[in-house]
A and B are shown apart, each in its own frame.
Chain A
Amino acid sequence: MKALVIALVIAPVLGALAAPASAAEESPCVATAGPMQADFPLRQVAAAIDSKHLAVTVVGTASSTLPGENGAAKAYPARLGEALRARFPGVDVQVTAHTKARDNAATMAKDMQQILAADKPALVIWQAGTVDAMLGVDPDDFQSALDDGLDVLRGKVDAVLVNMQYSPRTDAMIALGAYLDAMRYAAMQHETLLFDRLNVMKNWNDAGIFNLHADTKTIDVAEHVHDCIGRLLAGLIVDGVEVAKANNATNNTGAASPDNKDNKETH
């Protein structure tokens, strides 16, 4: 009974938190995605945008691409590039995707250095978790792999972690819990943004935006889902840049140095 009362108390709070998003004039998939804001600044991305060249690398597995000839063009990394170009006109935005269907986080972490050297990105979007959960990798090992990969990026490159897809059909068959926790924890520890893809897709399913149960060979829904994920990710990145700018401005104001007058405009 007590639990019920608590649930009744929590529900409106959660609803109130989600409300600002639904107030925005956006497509339904963005409106129903749930709260999405950057807790940490994306400093390297902000600097890259200032220099008019933004390189983004997506490291992930099969769920970061789509099957078929046009799969890569319709998948969320390409859609993200599109959304970023629209948001930052005049900035040369390059998105490179490294997707290997069966890589677990440890393999991706090992490749991270090499990928950085090749792409020289300002931002790495690292999608992980599903393969590890399906293989049943020890969650501790999964977490240390995330640590290793994020350590390679630290200080040089911004990062956004992307967690698993919400897949209602296989929901009862892949135990994601410990891996979700590990990603949340790694994100917090490394002051890294986490794009909660699972929750976003769950919200879509609950709101009836996409039918994620559908047994289908057609790719329309999958393309829409990826398009929306790309746009939401772009939104999160924009927010991270804003936070970085706001932080810069505060720091500069705090320093009260006459050299920083120009920066105050960012307030």
Chain B
Amino acid sequence: MPPVIPSGRDLRLDLFRGLALWLIFLDHIPSNVVSWLTIRNYGFSDATEIFVFISGYTAAFVYGREMNERGVVVASARILKRAWQIYVAHIFLFVIYMAEIAYVASTFDNPLYSEEMGVFNFLKQPDVTMVQAMLLKFKPANMDVLPLYIVLLGGFPPMLWLLLRRSTLALVASVALYALTWRFDWNFPAYPNGTWVFNPLAWQLLFCFGAWCALGGAERIAPFARSRAVLALAAAYLVFAFAIALTWYIPHMASYIPRWFAEWMYPIDKTNLDVLRFAHFLALAALTVRYVPRDWIGLDSRLTRPAILCGQHSLEIFCLGVFLSFAGHFAMVEISDGIGMQVLVSVLGIAVMVATAGLIKWYKDVEGRKHGPRRAPPNADLAGGEA
């Protein structure tokens, strides 16, 4: 029997996805003092984990109901359509990136950086570069998340099918794929060299775990996740991760880490979603779920409204964030990279993200009214789904 998918909008998903989008934006602006606020500096995991988990949760929530109500074919087709939209968004961002990099390449010269200028070499072969970008093999720095998302959604229909029938088996399959990926070093090839920065075969674990939670898994593990022992363990792990993170910024402290332990722990592999990162995300999630209940009063507050709004239009705002981080870096290079400018760029960027999310909501409302009572089909942006 298909699981009962909880109804009603869970604004926490919107809130945390919105916050994750802000953090990703801040992290993508290099040498930005405001990015000290982002969680990657205080532990192993970062906003990417939050984004991927919530994306999996949302996808299962929306398309799971669709698959139950309208069948496997319709739901799969809609998932693939979504993947296509994200692909188009990615290529659009790539064009903007190319414009920026071509401008910098033609206007910047400095004998100190003759080596770094090599990064512009791909401009000499636009034929190869463009094709490789369309194949998702050539991915400029900081443009790795959407390709990951595309592949995750592309592979999602069979996973969702299995999750709806045998959810535990589906989760076991996901863990098995993760384990095999680690064991045999599987990854997708990249251009001109190497492999994907976010290995979809490893990161699918988080996406599927999110989906599993959305389809009743969260309720099943709730008693366990809310137990005192687990909460204490989660808190202890976060403190431990924070202590380790301190050693990255205060090199003297690194000498307190026993050598054997450091050798066991490092490198903490982001590409393949290191277990330490996954555990760090779980610990954060356990504490968050405990202290931010579904009916948390703050979710109605005006303070959380901007982040919730961004989280509700995540694809558009994600793309905008990537663009704004390019633009912000560009402004810092061309005008000033002082601390004042870093703060200004960060604050302005988030303000533009919020304003755009508001505008998108307005468009959707207007279009909804025009179509009268017929409601647009739910889409995966609506984190809580439509009630």
Contact B28 A172 (CB under 8 A): yes
Q: Kindly specify which of B71-79, B104-112, B275-283, B376-384 makes contact with the partner chain.
A: B104-112
Contacting pair B252 A6 (CB below 8 A) = no
> Do residues A138 and B194 form an inter-chain contact, with CB atoms below 8 A?
yes
Task: Pick the residue among A10, A173, A214 that contacts B119 (CB under 8 A).
Answer: A173
Contacts of B114 in A (CB 8 A): 62-63, 67
- B365 interface residue (CB < 8 Å to A): no
Q: Is A257 an interface residue (CB 8 A)?
A: no
Residues of B within 8 A of A209 (CB): none
> Which of A82-90, A161-169, A234-242 is the interface stretch?
A161-169
In chain B, positions 111-136 with a C-beta closer than 8 Å to chain A are 111-119, 121
Bound Cα distance A174, B329 (Å): 13
Residue of B28, B31, B108, B115 with highest tally of chain A CB at under 10 A: B115
Residues A130 and B116 in contact, CB atoms below 8 Å apart: yes
> Is the CB–CB distance between B110 and A185 below 8 Å?
no
B193 touches A17 (CB 8 A): no
* Docked pose: A165 CA to B110 CA in angstroms: 13
Task: For the complex, count residues of A whose C-beta is within 8 A of B.
Answer: 59
Q: Tell me the total A-B contact number using a CB cutoff of 8 A.
A: 151
Write the chain A residue with the least CB distance to B259: A188
Contact residues in A for B109 (Cβ distance below 8 Å): 215-217
User: Closest CB of chain A to B238's CB: distance in Å?
Assistant: 11
A221 close to chain B: CB less than 8 A: yes
**CB-defined interface of A131-174 with B at 8 Å, one 1/0 digit per residue?**
10011111111010000000000000000000001011111111
- Contact indicator A182/B263 (Cβ below 8 Å): no
Which of chain B's residues has its CB closest to A208's CB? Answer: B338
A67, A171, A218: the one contacting B329 at CB < 8 Å is A171
Q: Interface readout for A78-120 with B: 1 if CB under 8 Å, 0 if not?
A: 0000000000000000000000011000000000000000000
Q: Are A136 and B194 in contact (CB under 8 A)?
A: yes
B268's nearest neighbour on chain A, judged by CB, is: A181
Query: At the interface, yes or no: B250 with Cβ under 8 Å from chain A?
Result: yes
Alpha-carbon gap, A102 to B115, bound state (A)? 8
From residue 57 to 88 of chain A, which have CB atoms closer than 8 A to chain B? 61-63, 66-68
A185 cross-chain contacts in B, Cβ below 8 A: 266-267
Judge whether B112 and A170 touch: CB under 8 Å. Answer: no
Taking the complex as formed, is A205 at the interface, i.e. its CB lies under 8 A from any CB of chain B?
Answer: yes
Convert B62-78 into 0s and 1s, putting 1 for each residue whose CB lies closer than 8 angstroms to a CB of A. Answer: 00000000000000000
User: How far, in whole Å, are A63 and B191 apart by their CA atoms in the complex?
Assistant: 24
Q: Which residues of B contact A188 (CB under 8 A)?
A: 254, 262, 266
Q: B113 near A165 (CB under 8 angstroms)?
A: yes
Q: Known A138-B193, A168-B337, A172-B141; judge A143-B267 contact (CB<8 A).
A: yes
Per-residue CB proximity of B9-44 to A under 8 Å, as 1/0? 000000000000000000011110000111101100
Pairwise interchain contact A172-B267, C-beta atoms closer than 8 A? no
A13 touches B250 (CB 8 A): yes
A219 within 8 A of B: yes
Residue A7 interfacial (CB < 8 Å): yes
Q: Are the CB atoms of B42 and A171 closer together than 8 Å?
A: no
CB within 8 A of B141: which of A67, A101, A173? A173
Assembly CA distance A68 to B361 (angstroms): 57
Residues in B with CB closer than 8 Å to A175 are 141-142, 197
Contacts of A134 in B (CB 8 A): 116, 118-119, 121
Q: Is the CB of A136 within 8 A of B192?
A: yes
- In the complex, what's the smallest C-beta–C-beta distance from B185 to chain A, in angstroms? 8
Residue numbers in B under 8 Å from A225 (CB-CB): 112
With A170-B116, A173-B119 as known contacts, state yes or no: A215 contacts B108, CB within 8 Å. yes
Complex Cα spacing A219 to B242, Å: 43
Q: Inside 8 A of B28's CB, which chain A residues have their CB?
A: 172
Q: What residues on A are CB-neighbors of B121 within 8 Å?
A: 134
Contacts of A168 on B, CB cut-off 8 Å?
30-31, 332-333, 337
Q: Assess A39 versus B255: contact at CB under 8 Å? Given A165-B113, A217-B109.
A: yes
The one of A135, A172, A178 in contact with B271, judged by C-beta atoms closer than 8 angstroms, is A178
Would you list 22 pairs from A and B whose C-beta atoms are within 8 A, ordered by A residue? Answer: A3-B41, A4-B37, A62-B115, A62-B118, A134-B119, A136-B191, A138-B195, A143-B267, A165-B112, A165-B116, A167-B112, A168-B332, A169-B108, A169-B110, A172-B326, A175-B141, A181-B266, A188-B266, A215-B110, A216-B110, A216-B111, A222-B112
Enumerate chain A interface residues (CB-CB to B < 8 A): 3-4, 6-7, 10, 13-14, 17, 35, 39, 61-63, 66-68, 101-102, 130-131, 134-141, 143, 165, 167-175, 177-178, 181-182, 185, 188-189, 202, 205, 212-219, 221-222, 225
Give 19 new A-B contacts, CB below 8 A, not counting A3-B38, A170-B119, A185-B267: A3-B37, A6-B242, A7-B37, A35-B251, A62-B115, A66-B112, A130-B116, A135-B192, A136-B194, A168-B30, A168-B333, A169-B333, A172-B142, A174-B119, A178-B271, A205-B31, A213-B333, A215-B107, A218-B111
Report, nearest first, the 3 A-B pairs whose CB atoms are least far apart. Answer: A62-B115, A222-B112, A171-B30
